[in-house]
Amino acid sequence: MPMIDERRESEVAGIPSTDQTPGPGTGVAPHVGESVTFTGRFLVPLLVPFAVAATIIFYVLNVSRIFLAAESALAVAFAIAVTLAILIGGAALSAAPKLRGSSITLVVSGGLLFVLVGGLISIGAASPKTASGPVQCAPVQRRLTIDAGAGGSIRFSFPQGSTIKAGCVDLKLQILGGSHTLQFDDAAAAGAFPELGISTKSWTGVLKPGKYVFHCTIDSHAANGMVATLLVTS
């Protein structure tokens, strides 16, 4: 740095330096203004933790959704791919500090978009498979009401008989006393048709021919004999 040395020598010698503009090769960029200082010193350090937290939440939400939706092996593979992409991307970005800000923004938002798309396409599959009710059918061909707790008993009763023809059936539980429910014993039937009770009093669905054993889920009602069979004929 011959220029600095020269200046020092001139200052030491008491000769005022007239050259106020930094010469080429000094490598000192002049300060542009206060806004740069405010953004760099205050705004960025303040926003970075929030951005990091938001990114982590975003990542966890979407990747966990992928885990919920996909078969375990596929989900693990995807999560590893996403995590590796983030790690490699981060390493590449820090290894290339001269990359323009706009390029970094593009790469990062591209990665986030990748994670978001992965999360979005698995939304439906990730939703819990609740027994949301039987396949709706129309028109209703038959209606059947099953009574529960008639005369203060802990029993089911069939005012219209316990046999019904297969088809589009509207089944209703009429609670005459106490609190009772109606749920099919068979796991597949219980999954297909919602439990009837206080909140859900009826459903409409296709009943195929067969014997449908059902019970009350309240306390020890079933153990005390609150079970019955609905016969569906072809």
Closest CA to 154 of 229, 230, 216: 216
Give whichever of 99 and 227 is closer to Cu ion, judged by the CB atom: 227
**Count of alpha carbons within 13 angstroms of residue 229, beta-carbon side:** 6
Assigned token pair, 43 = 């705004």
212 CB-near residues (< 8 Å, 6+ apart):
184, 186, 189, 229, 230, 231, 232
Q: Establish if 226 lies at the interface with Cu ion (CB under 5 A).
A: yes
> Least distance to Cu ion from the beta carbon of 199, Å?
15
75 part of the interface to Cu ion, by CB under 5 A: no
Least distance (Å) between residue 167 CB and Cu ion = 28
Contact 206, 181 (CB under 8 A): no
Question: Contacting Cu ion (CB under 5 A), which of 69, 182, 216, 230?
Answer: 216
- Tokens matching residue 76: 């693990």
Q: Which of 137, 166, 218, 227 binds Cu ion (CB under 5 A)?
A: 218
What type of residue sits at position 138? A
In this chain, which stretch among 95-103, 110-118, 192-200, 223-231 interacts with Cu ion, using CB under 5 A?
A: 223-231
Q: Of 155, 221, 228, 232, which one interacts with Cu ion (CB under 5 A)?
A: 221
| Closest approach of Cu ion to the CB of residue 224, in Å | 9
Nearer to Cu ion, 186 or 195 (CB): 195
Task: Please give the residues from 171 up to 190 whose contact with Cu ion meets the rule CB under 5 A.
Answer: 180
Measured CA to CA in angstroms, residue 46 lies from 32, 42, 76 at distances of: 22, 6, 34
Which residues of the chain form contacts with Cu ion (CB under 5 A)? Answer: 180, 216, 218, 221, 226
